[in-house]
């Protein structure tokens, strides 16, 4: 008697004993399924144990083996799709679902949609004795569907592998095998997509935009404007009719827009065209001045198929987000240079507050992608100068000018703390500054780069939101000037929102604290989630899609990561002891 047979008889003996004693017992669980020794069940079990599927393009399914095993255990290693009265329509629904994966920004080829459709007629005619072939086709459909749903729900790339430091999920909230069987039993396979895709309003709007831009790309001629110096209203250019047609087709001008006025034989750039260009600029992260400058022309000449790709990448990144729950939320989209504050992130409502922001420099000090909890606010904050700035910028200035600290309202301290005492400047303290043993901080005041308030959400990147004295930067269309932290345009309004449930912090009290020469820390009664995100396609509050330049090159990195499709391991998605230790160490 082998091990499997012994386990079978032990389970049967326990069941008989339980029945004789009149005890209660649960129905057969998936993990209690009896391992089959013959027939199609044995073939299914053997194939799952091998973690290799010869009928699929991507043969190795090690990362989906657990899901596939749970699916077939739940039906006692019987066929899931074949050998049913409704096999034909059920399988057609399933393969149609895979064929339409592009509607979700996924690639149907990754799920062998066409290949399986080609195999379907012969698979439906297989005799019962063809156990191997029946097992292969049935598991191929199941595995392809699991892969599609897993990619749809979690994404195809591990965000931590490309420096998107998003929170890991606490636990698996979606049981894909159970979802598949329930949909199969109800004959509602088509509903699986809605059940598995992210529930965010942003995702839904981007998905609608994907269909729209695919249609636009198919029917709209590529624009190729050739403009030397910037073009303004009243100036002539031979391609104005092409521009007008493009703006009409993309919805920036109404269909009854009048043809561009001509000067003798050359059309002119008129006011109506300029209004269409302004709308285009507003949708592409550009200053909406109506001038056809270098940046605007480059955006106009970007193919609509590239815009489709941007939307697909945006959908992928949204799949990486764990459940963000409900309630207040602060979102910064880095390439948009913008911040939104939501009263309740779970509701599809306009943001309660939004503002421009300045983010980290593209080539030097990029703002990181992260998720954290805002816990306190510092009014009239100190600026604790990072060691890299102290070593590379301030120490050389001190060597040239010992009075530099005094002129900048700075001091040397042993540690960054509220009661730290100033250390005098001398050769010994200068050496310790260079070694990182002493630190420099800037006192509250007009020269402090943090302005009058900073918003703190402890994170390993040591970045935060803060005010700035450099208000002029907010008028620029491209705003990557910081050392990594995010400067906010409306600091008082953000403070009022964060403290709105603490009655003593009236707008007047907040304004007084911001004007105070002394630092004051205020703990929030309830923390507010903060997300620094990066997406170059984003659904605005009015539902229109805005596109932004890939200032940090993250789109390029993600496109490269998606070139080689593979199954994403669950181990990288959920908090495990190994992941928790690695996170703490980092």
Which backbone phi and psi does 340 adopt, to 5 degrees? -125, 140
Query: DSSP string spanning 390-420?
Result: IIIIIHHHHHH-TTHHHHTTEEEESSS-TTP
Indicate if the pLDDT at residue 5 is higher than 80.
no
Task: Please provide the distance, in angstroms rounded to a whole number, between the alpha carbons at the two ends of the chain.
Answer: 51
pLDDT, residue 223, reads 95
**Separation CA 202–CA 239 (nearest Å):** 36
The pLDDT tens digits for 143-152 are 999 999 999 9
Indicate if the pLDDT at residue 20 is higher than 80.
no
CA 184, 189, 191, 192 torsion-angle sign: positive
Indicate if the pLDDT at residue 461 is higher than 70.
yes
Distances (CA, A) of 433 to 139, 216, 365, 396, 436: 64, 59, 22, 11, 5
**Separation CA 334–CA 450 (nearest Å):** 19
Token pair 């109800």: residue: 186
**Separation CA 112–CA 116 (nearest Å):** 6
Residue 578's CB: how many other CB atoms inside 10 A?
A: 9
For the segment 311-316, the average pLDDT, to the nearest whole number, is 98
**Separation CA 546–CA 551 (nearest Å):** 15
pLDDT, residue 26, reads 38
Q: How confident is the model at residue 559 (pLDDT cuts 50, 70, 90)?
A: very high
> With pLDDT > 70 as the criterion, what percentage of the chain qualifies?
91
**Separation CA 143–CA 147 (nearest Å):** 6
**Separation CA 92–CA 437 (nearest Å):** 69
By three-state DSSP, how is residue 302 classified? coil
pLDDT, residue 263, reads 53
**Separation CA 553–CA 558 (nearest Å):** 9
**Separation CA 371–CA 369 (nearest Å):** 7
For the segment 262-278, the average pLDDT, to the nearest whole number, is 85
Ramachandran bin of 458, using left for φ above 0, alpha for ψ from -120 to 50, beta for the remaining angles: beta
The pLDDT tens digits for 61-119 are 999 999 999 999 999 999 999 989 999 999 999 999 999 999 999 999 999 999 999 99
The pLDDT tens digits for 316-364 are 999 999 988 899 999 999 999 999 999 999 888 889 999 999 999 998 8
Global pTM? 0.89
Distances (CA, A) of 25 to 20, 21, 126, 189, 573: 12, 11, 39, 32, 34
**Separation CA 33–CA 93 (nearest Å):** 28
**Separation CA 433–CA 439 (nearest Å):** 6
> Among the residues of 187-293, which ranges form H helices?
192-196, 201-219, 240-249, 271-282
């Amino acid at each position: 008697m082998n091990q499997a047979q012994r386990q079978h008889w032990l389970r049967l003996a326990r069941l008989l004993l339980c029945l004789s004693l009149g005890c209660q017992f649960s129905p057969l669980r998936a993990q209690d399924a009896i391992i089959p020794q013959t027939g199609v069940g044995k073939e299914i079990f053997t194939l799952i144990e091998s973690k290799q599927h010869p009928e699929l393009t991507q043969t190795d399914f090690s990362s989906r083996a657990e899901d596939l095993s749970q699916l077939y255990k739940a039906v006692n290693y019987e066929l899931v799709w074949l050998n049913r009265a409704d096999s034909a329509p059920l399988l057609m629904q399933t393969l149609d679902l895979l064929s339409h994966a592009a509607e979700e920004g996924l690639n149907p080829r990754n799920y062998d949609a066409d290949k399986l459709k080609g195999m379907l007629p012969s698979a439906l005619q297989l005799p019962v004795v063809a156990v191997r072939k029946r097992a292969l086709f049935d598991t191929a459909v199941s595995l392809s569907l699991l892969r599609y749903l897993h990619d749809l729900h979690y994404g195809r790339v591990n965000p931590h592998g490309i420096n998107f430091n998003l929170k890991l999920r606490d636990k698996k909230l979606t049981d894909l095998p159970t979802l598949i069987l329930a949909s199969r039993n109800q004959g509602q396979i088509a509903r699986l997509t809605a059940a598995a895709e992210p529930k965010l309003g942003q995702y839904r709007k981007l998905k609608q935009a994907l269909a729209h831009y695919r249609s636009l790309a198919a029917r709209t001629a590529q624009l190729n404007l050739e403009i030397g110096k910037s073009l303004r209203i009243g100036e002539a250019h031979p391609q104005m009719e092409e521009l007008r047609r493009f703006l009409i087709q993309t919805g920036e001008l109404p269909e009854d827009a009048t043809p561009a006025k001509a000067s003798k034989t050359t059309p002119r750039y008129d006011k109506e065209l300029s209004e269409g260009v302004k709308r285009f600029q507003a949708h592409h992260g550009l200053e909406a001045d109506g001038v056809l400058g270098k940046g605007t022309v480059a955006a106009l000449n970007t193919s609509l198929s590239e815009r489709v790709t941007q939307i697909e990448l945006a959908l992928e990144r949204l799949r990486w987000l764990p459940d963000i729950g409900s309630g207040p939320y602060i979102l910064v989209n880095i390439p948009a240079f913008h911040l939104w504050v939501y009263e309740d992130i779970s509701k599809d409502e306009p943001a309660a507050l939004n503002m421009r922001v300045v983010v980290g420099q593209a080539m030097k000090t990029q703002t990181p992608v992260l998720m954290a909890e805002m816990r306190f606010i510092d009014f009239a904050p100190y600026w604790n100068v990072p060691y890299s700035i102290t070593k590379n910028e301030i120490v050389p200035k001190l060597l040239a000018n010992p009075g530099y600290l005094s002129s900048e309202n700075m001091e040397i301290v042993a540690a960054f703390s509220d009661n730290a005492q100033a250390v005098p400047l001398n050769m010994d303290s200068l050496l310790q500054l260079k070694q990182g043993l002493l630190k420099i901080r800037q006192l509250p005041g007009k020269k402090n780069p943090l302005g009058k308030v900073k918003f703190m959400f402890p994170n390993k990147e040591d970045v935060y939101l803060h005010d700035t004295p450099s208000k002029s930067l907010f008028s620029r269309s491209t705003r990557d000037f910081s050392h990594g932290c995010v400067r906010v345009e409306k600091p008082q309004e953000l403070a009022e929102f964060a403290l709105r449930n603490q009655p003593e912090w009236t707008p007047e009290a907040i304004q007084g604290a911001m004007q105070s020469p002394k630092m004051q820390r205020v703990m929030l009664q309830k923390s507010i989630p903060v997300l620094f995100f990066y997406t170059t396609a984003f659904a605005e509050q009015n539902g229109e899609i805005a596109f932004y330049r890939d200032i940090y090159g993250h789109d390029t990195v993600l496109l490269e990561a998606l070139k080689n499709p593979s199954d994403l391991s669950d181990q990288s998605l959920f908090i495990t002891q190994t992941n928790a230790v690695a996170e703490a160490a980092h």
